[in-house]
């Protein structure tokens, strides 16, 4: 009996390692293909119009994609747990207006404004997370309801007014227009958040547990993973990122109305799914989500440069979303089949 136990123990981690290696290989290839498509799109647009990659063109491309990349990072953490957050666009709009109302005609620094935005975003994320994790209300219903609640509250607060750039402190505006060594602050902040999140998900136990929850919630529960706390933390993080993005939105555009970032929630979800984060949870990376956000943003910029109607952007985004979901389904089926063959062998 002791020999049987000794022979059977190594098989489990070996199977887990084999499965993880296969899944990592598949999604690394997915990220490389998205990166290749992005490079090809930029190259073709540059050949059609050389001004696309001049200094101002590159700067505009980085600025236009930075907020979407940031939101895709927060959304990825939620989607990995097999949930979704449709309220991020409303959180951005509410925090942008709230931060602008707080900062106008005052000497508040950009750091203070960003902290306020993060605080509001965390509060919104905690409400959604509590209802999803402890209230066990479907994430789609909760976050869709939060979307309309936050929109309504924002309209009530604004009462038709808007925040004007002329009333904002110079420090807040400089955050959106300033740069270091020619690189704007906004993409640097987005890159820092992206790298830190990717490192946490890859290295720390809490990050790996998020993948376990999305892969198989019941197995994660039996393994002793605190599912409710992890899901709550994921929503709080997504809210914090959205609140931070709202403060950056204010510094980027200066003039803010109550419905800022209206409709962005679907764009963010599209970027995440196109980037290889499976809508069913458990697989994908924030690097892929960032590439998906860059791809969607570049498509929009390329259409403008090529003088193509902007309505085509929505159609292309929809096609990419359908293709990504179909690809995920096919990859999932083939991966499962390959793993079953390995386990039999």
| pLDDT single digits (tens) 235-274 | 999 999 999 999 999 999 988 888 888 888 888 998 998 8
- 3-state DSSP call for residue 309? coil
C-alpha span between 223 and 10 (Å, rounded): 18
- 3-state DSSP call for residue 136? coil
> What pTM, to 2 d.p., does this model score?
0.85
Mind listing the domains of the chain with CATH numbers? 17-340 (1.10.3470)
Q: Are 81 and 231 in contact (CB under 8 A)?
A: yes
C-alpha span between 121 and 88 (Å, rounded): 9
Residues 6+ apart with CB under 8 A from 121: 91, 95, 239, 240, 241, 242, 243, 244, 246
DSSP strand pairing (179-180 vs 183-184): antiparallel
**Would you state the pLDDT for residue 25?**
58
Task: Report the phi/psi class of residue 256: left, alpha or beta, with left for phi > 0 and alpha for psi in -120 to 50.
Answer: beta
Q: What is the DSSP letter of 165?
A: G
Residues 6+ apart with CB under 8 A from 84: 75, 78, 139, 140, 143, 269, 279
Residue at token pair 């590159």: 58
Residue 345 CB neighbours (<10 A): 5
Q: What is the DSSP letter of 163?
A: B
Question: Could you tell me how far CA 26 lies from the centroid of its own chain?
Answer: 21
Q: What is the DSSP letter of 54?
A: S
Which pLDDT tens digits describe the chain residue by residue (345 residues)? 444 444 333 333 444 445 455 555 555 666 777 888 888 888 888 888 877 888 887 888 888 899 999 999 999 999 999 999 999 999 999 999 999 999 887 778 889 999 999 999 999 999 999 999 999 999 999 999 999 999 999 889 888 788 888 888 888 899 988 888 888 999 999 999 999 999 999 999 999 999 999 988 899 999 999 999 999 999 999 999 999 999 999 999 988 888 888 888 888 998 998 888 888 888 888 998 999 899 888 888 888 877 777 677 677 777 777 777 776 666 666 666 665 666 666
Query: Tokens for 223?
Result: 């393994």
**Would you state the pLDDT for residue 251?**
92
- CA-closest candidate to residue 288, choices 72, 88, 78: 72
Q: What is the mean pLDDT of the chain?
A: 84
Q: Are 68 and 297 in contact (CB under 8 A)?
A: yes
Report the percent of the chain where pLDDT is more than 90. Answer: 44
Q: Which residues pair with 184 in a beta bridge?
A: 179
Residue 314 CB neighbours (<10 A): 14
DSSP letter string, 243-292: HHHHHHHHHHHS-B-TTTTTTHHHHHHHHHHHTT--TTSS---HHHHHHH
Indicate the angle between helix axes 286-305 and 185-203, nearest 10 degrees: 150
Q: Are 52 and 42 in contact (CB under 8 A)?
A: yes
Query: Tokens for 90?
Result: 């409303």
Residue at token pair 């540059």: 46
Q: Which residues pair with 179 in a beta bridge?
A: 184
C-alpha span between 86 and 266 (Å, rounded): 7
């Amino acid at each position: 009996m002791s020999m049987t136990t000794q022979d059977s123990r190594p098989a489990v981690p070996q199977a887990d390692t084999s499965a993880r290696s296969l899944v990592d290989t598949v999604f690394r290839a997915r990220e490389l293909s998205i990166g290749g498509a992005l490079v090809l799109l930029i190259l073709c647009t540059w050949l059609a119009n050389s001004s696309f990659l001049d200094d101002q063109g590159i700067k505009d491309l980085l600025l236009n994609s930075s907020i979407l990349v940031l939101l895709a990072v927060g959304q990825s953490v939620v989607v990995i747990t097999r949930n979704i957050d449709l309220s991020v666009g409303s959180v951005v709009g509410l925090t942008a207006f709230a931060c602008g109302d707080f900062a106008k005609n005052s000497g508040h620094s950009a750091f203070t404004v960003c902290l306020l935005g993060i605080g509001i975003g965390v509060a919104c994320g905690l409400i959604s997370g509590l209802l999803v994790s402890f209230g066990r209300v479907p994430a789609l219903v909760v976050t869709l309801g939060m979307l309309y609640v936050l929109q309504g509250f924002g309209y009530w607060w604004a009462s038709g007014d808007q925040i004007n750039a002329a009333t904002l402190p110079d420090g807040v505006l400089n955050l959106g227009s300033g740069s270091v060594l020619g690189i704007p602050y906004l993409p640097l902040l987005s890159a820092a958040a992206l790298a830190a999140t990717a490192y946490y998900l890859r290295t720390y136990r809490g990050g790996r547990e998020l993948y376990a929850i999305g892969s198989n919630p019941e197995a994660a529960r039996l393994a002793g993973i605190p599912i409710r706390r992890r899901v709550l933390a994921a929503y709080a993080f997504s809210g914090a990122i959205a609140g931070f993005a709202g403060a950056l939105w204010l510094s980027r555009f200066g003039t803010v109305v109550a419905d800022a970032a209206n409709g962005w929630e679907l764009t963010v979800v599209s970027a995440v799914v196109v980037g290889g984060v499976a809508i069913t949870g458990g697989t994908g990376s924030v690097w892929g989500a960032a590439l998906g956000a860059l791809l969607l943003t570049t498509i929009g910029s390329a259409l403008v440069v090529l003088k193509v109607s902007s309505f085509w952007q929505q159609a292309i985004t929809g096609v990419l979303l359908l293709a990504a979901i179909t690809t995920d389904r096919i990859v999932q089926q083939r991966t499962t089949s390959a793993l079953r063959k390995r386990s039999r062998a």
